[in-house]
């Protein structure tokens, strides 16, 4: 039986609105979620505060109260599908290039196409918070600056925040952005994105996860199970190698017939050559151990969640190590000025004075 092929305009065949109605005139943040009740109140509250007016969420059969919570929010539009995030679908992009994508990745690309033609749309996960540059009070200022420049997207450094040691991963998950920063205040003040005029950015440096794997000697190990004990194809072996933690993504993209999100991290057109935003990524939190267990059981993440097997090993090795997260360059976060100074953020300050 031939595999069904989906194009960007076909997303409505795989997902449907089950709560709310999209207002295409409102600045919208899109996300795919499953069981993110721990982060949801803080995530919604924070992003309302920085200027998002509407939240378009594809909920992947959450059963922790997330779905009900989202449906109780007047500014949330909730979509669902009969298929799960990890289902593989064949996607043909507008240029005619075919590739296999997980359903969740395809819907992230395609669902905003159903509702928006011209506006900028935000893309963030539930554990990601978009930090505004100094002197910028709202995302509308960033959108206005992108339109002046003629840019269709803005790239961001993905900065992992963390406590000083694994002991800091205990207790309850903080319920506001300020409390998340207070509980996990450390970051690596080193550039991750170099802009290039008219081209996709050059990604540099190392993620905090990669640094920790090196420090605690967490190395790739191939596990052979079932028929793989007899023979394992190269693709299966490769899937068990380290998957790089994200150092960048494109959290703001203009949705038009020619401009779109291309995959999890890139837009199809080069981003602004003047702006680098910052996404605070809270992966090392009080729910880190639970997230590892859920991801490994769920198996819908990239390469069967192999990265989370290594996260579990890392957590075991870090137990009881004083200041295990810190190195000589780790810095306590105090404000976005630090991000500008170290190159994790870039903003034409003079334009706002």
C-alpha dihedral (93, 103, 303, 231), degrees to nearest 10: -90
- pLDDT, one tens digit per residue, over 23-34 is 999 999 999 999
CA angle 124, 75, 46 (to 5 degrees): 50
| Eight-class DSSP state of 128 | E
Q: What is the pLDDT of residue 230?
A: 56
Sorted by where each begins, the domain ranges of the chain are 1-116, 129-347
317 neighbors 218 (Cβ within 8 angstroms): yes
Sheet containing strand 120-123, strands side by side: 16-19, 76-80, 54-59, 28-33, 120-123, 248-254, 153-160, 276-281, 128-131
What CA–CA distance (Å, rounded) separates 67 from 78? 8
Average pLDDT, the chain: 90
Q: What is the mean pLDDT of residues 341-348?
A: 96
- pLDDT, one tens digit per residue, over 279-323 is 999 999 999 888 787 766 665 444 445 677 888 899 999 999 999
- pLDDT, one tens digit per residue, over 168-225 is 999 999 999 999 999 999 999 999 999 999 999 999 999 999 999 999 999 766 555 5
Q: What is the pLDDT of residue 299?
A: 53
């Amino acid at each position: 039986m031939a595999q069904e092929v989906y194009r960007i305009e076909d997303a409505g065949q795989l997902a449907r609105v089950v709560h709310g109605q999209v207002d295409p005139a409102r600045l919208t943040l899109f996300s795919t979620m499953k069981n993110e009740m721990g982060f949801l109140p803080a995530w919604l509250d924070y992003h309302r505060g920085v200027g998002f007016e509407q939240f378009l969420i594809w909920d992947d059969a959450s059963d922790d109260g997330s779905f009900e919570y989202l449906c109780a929010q007047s500014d949330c539009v909730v979509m669902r599908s009969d298929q799960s995030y990890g289902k593989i679908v064949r996607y043909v992009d507008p240029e005619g290039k075919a590739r296999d994508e997980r359903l969740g990745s395809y819907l992230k690309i395609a669902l905003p196409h159903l509702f928006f033609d011209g506006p900028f749309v935000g893309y963030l996960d539930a554990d990601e918070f978009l930090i505004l540059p100094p002197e910028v009070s709202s995302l509308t200022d960033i959108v206005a600056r992108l339109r002046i420049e003629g840019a269709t997207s803005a790239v961001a450094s993905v900065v992992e925040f963390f406590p000083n040691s694994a002991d800091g991963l205990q207790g309850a998950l903080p319920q506001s952005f300020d409390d998340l920063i207070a509980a996990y205040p450390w970051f690596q003040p080193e550039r991750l994105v170099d802009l290039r005029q008219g081209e996709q950015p050059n990604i540099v440096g190392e993620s905090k996860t990669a640094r920790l794997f090196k420090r605690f000697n967490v190395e790739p190990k191939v596990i052979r199970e079932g028929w793989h004990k007899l023979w394992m194809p190269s693709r299966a072996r490769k899937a068990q190698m380290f998957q790089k933690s994200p150092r960048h993504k494109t959290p703001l993209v203009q949705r038009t017939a020619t401009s779109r999100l291309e995959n999890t991290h890139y837009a199809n057109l080069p981003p602004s050559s003047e702006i680098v935003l910052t996404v605070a990524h809270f992966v090392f939190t009080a729910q880190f151990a639970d997230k590892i267990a859920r991801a490994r059981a769920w198996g819908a993440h990239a390469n069967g969640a192999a990265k989370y097997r290594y996260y579990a090993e890392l957590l075991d090795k870090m137990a009881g190590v004083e200041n295990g997260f810190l190195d000589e360059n780790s810095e306590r976060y105090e404000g976005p000025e630090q991000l500008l100074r170290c190159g994790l953020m870039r903003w034409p300050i003079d334009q706002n004075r």
